Amino acid sequence: MSLRGYTAPLSPDGRAGIVPPPPWHYSGDFLIAEYRTDPDTVTALLPDELEPAEDPGAVAAIFADWQSCSEDLRELVDPIQSQYREFFLVVGARFQGQPVSRCVYIWVDKDFAMYRGWIQGFPKKLGSIHMTRPFAAGKAAPKLEPGARFGATCSANDRQIARLVVTLEHLSETGPTVNDPPMHNTRHFPAAAGTRPAVFELVRAGGRDREVSAIWEGSAELRLFDDTLEDLQAIAPREMLRGYRFSFGYTVDGVEVVAQHDRETTS
């Protein structure tokens, strides 16, 4: 019997793979802070195919509490296969003159979400993420109302990565803008031998059947810590903008390859 599966590990019945085949359905709660930093440090994180955004120093720090599943929904009754949280930093850019966004750093707390992210071009690392959860009853959960405070933290490799607090003020007329344009990330997989990557391509992440709740807006406090493997201080906030809290859902069938990177620049 041949081995089967969408991802490793392959098995006779194909069920052992870390990630099932698409489509993938997502539902999640978002906590976002937008801010400005040094435009030059943002530009330094862009590949050659992307140009700086109209607001080149704008960054979105995003915490997400996700529940995801494949087409038959089977993961929803086994929540350890569907629930995960992540923290990521998104910058703006332009591709062929059009506004785009790009995830430059991201941490996630489950292996299946990390592997699935690599397939889509998200540079995910494992981390520990926690977020304030709303509930319909009781005093131990904030309500979606003016003055409510929501917090989130991320750590990885025994180091603090980020801490965010958003204080709600009112319903937003615009919502967050930095991560609104199509996401253009890089799929990168090393070759089995040598230093040139076997896969090195710019991809556009899409999605369909998008749904979004009412978006709350308010003030935001964000700290990016300095004892990290990534130079987060280079893109640390210089000017805080606004914070947002909302729920979002969509379905992903895959990504579109829009350009091939120069493989000679990755040694």
Give percent of the chain above pLDDT 90.
95
Q: The tokens of 48 are what?
A: 């050659």
Mean pLDDT score, 133-150 = 96
Mean pLDDT score, 83-107 = 98
> Over the stretch 159-168, which tens digit does the pLDDT of each residue have?
999 999 999 9
pLDDT, residue 206, reads 86
> Over the stretch 7-66, which tens digit does the pLDDT of each residue have?
999 999 998 999 999 999 999 999 999 999 999 999 999 999 999 999 999 999 999 999
Domains and CATH numbers, the chain: 24-182+207-254 (2.40.400.10)
At 103, the pLDDT band (50, 70, 90 cuts) reads: very high
Does the pLDDT value for residue 2 go beyond 70? yes
pLDDT, residue 267, reads 54
H/E/C letters for each residue in the chain?
Answer: CCCECCCCCCECCCCCCCCCCCCEEEEEEEEEEEEECCHHHHHCCCCCCCEECCCCCEEEEEEEEEEEECCCCHHHHCHHHCEEEEEEEEEEEEECCEEEEEEEEEEECCHHHHHHHHHHCCCEEECEEEECCCCCCCCCCCCCCCCCEEEEEEEECCEEEEEEEEEEEEECCCCCCCCCCCEEEEEEEECCCCCCEEEEEEEEECCEEEEECCCEEEEEEEEECCCCCCCHHHHCCCEEEEEEEEEEEEEECCEEEEEECCHHHCC
Question: Which of the residue ranges 81-90, 120-129, 165-174, 188-197 would you say has the lowest mean pLDDT?
Answer: 188-197
At 266, the pLDDT band (50, 70, 90 cuts) reads: low
Mean pLDDT score, 58-76 = 97
Across the chain, what does the average pLDDT equal?
96
pLDDT, residue 1, reads 58
Give percent of the chain above pLDDT 70.
99
> Over the stretch 212-261, which tens digit does the pLDDT of each residue have?
999 999 999 999 999 999 999 999 999 999 999 999 999 999 999 999 99
At 262, the pLDDT band (50, 70, 90 cuts) reads: confident
